[in-house]
Amino acid sequence: MEIIYVLAFIGGILSNIVDQINDSGILIKYKPFTEFLFISIVLYALFYKNYMSFFVSALFVVGGIAGFLLAPHTIDSLVWKISIYISLPFLLYHLFNFIKY
């Protein structure tokens, strides 16, 4: 089994935990640690391979734009904004390379 599948599973769990901490305010003392782990996994997925980077960056950017337009309260946490802003240059890079070929 590739490590990316394990990290994707852990990233999904961490995104749920981070969202629950931000929404309900429980386990606040673990907030910086879980957010750091989540952002680290996002960065690893962005730098891992080109095909993974494109899908992860597109997911965050398109999801962030949709969230901003349709339900801004869903991305009001700093960790989601950081994920979107980090993913934007990667998506632009992949789109320019896609258009070039």
The confidence band for 1, taking pLDDT boundaries of 50, 70 and 90, is: low
Please write down the long-range contacts of 72-77, taking CB distance under 8 Å and 24 or more positions apart.
77/18, 77/19, 77/22
pTM attached to this predicted model: 0.80
CA torsion, points 10, 11, 13, 14, in degrees to nearest 10?
A: 110
pLDDT digits (tens, 9 = 90+) for 49-80: 667 888 888 888 998 899 889 988 877 888 88
Residue 74 is predicted with a pLDDT of 79
